[in-house]
Amino acid sequence: MRTQFGARLTEALETCRPAPPDKPNILKTLLAVQSSLGYVPASDLPQIAQVLGVTDAQVAGVLSYYSDLRTQPPSRHLIRVCRGESCTANHGLRVLRAIQDHVRVAVGDRTQAERFTVEQMSCAGNCAVSPTVIVDDEVHGRVVPSQVAALLERYK
């Protein structure tokens, strides 16, 4: 079965094909696929399993276990709001609410959102300048609700 990512997927998988006596590494492979395609399409599980020489179920098991492996296409921008303890202590929940009010997207809703997806994340390790909001790869610290609109304006 050809998928929409045919060639790119094959290319990503080729780098992960285990060379004996090495054992297949499912997590590493899924991360490589995600880094190439932006997510791991469920329809590609059989091809991934076949290249690695493991069962579909083993791949599905790893895919569903790790929260940073995505099975839906990403929006243009991913907003991650830290819900670690330091951000919680610094009232990061108010920042999360301000973001949701501003972009009008529910946490975790990947299907409706084109511009932004909003997620909560566990501790970002940016505790000393919390609350933390990460947009794509940029880490923003000491975010207060009143800054949210201006902060997100930069991401079109």
Contacting another protein within 54-113 (CB under 8 A): 58, 61-62, 65-69, 83-86, 88-91
Q: What is the DSSP letter of 61?
A: H
Q: Which window, 4-12, 42-50, 108-116, 140-148, contacts another protein (CB under 8 A)? A: 140-148
- Apex CA 20: angle with CA 3 and CA 37, to 5°? 25
Q: Which window, 1-9, 100-108, 109-117, 118-126, contacts another protein (CB under 8 A)? A: 118-126
Minimum CB distance to another protein smaller for 15 or for 122: 122
Q: Does residue 123 bind another protein (CB under 8 A)?
A: yes
| Binding string, residues 42-61; x marks residues near another protein by CB under 8 A | ----------------x--x
CA 66 to chain CA centroid, nearest Å: 10
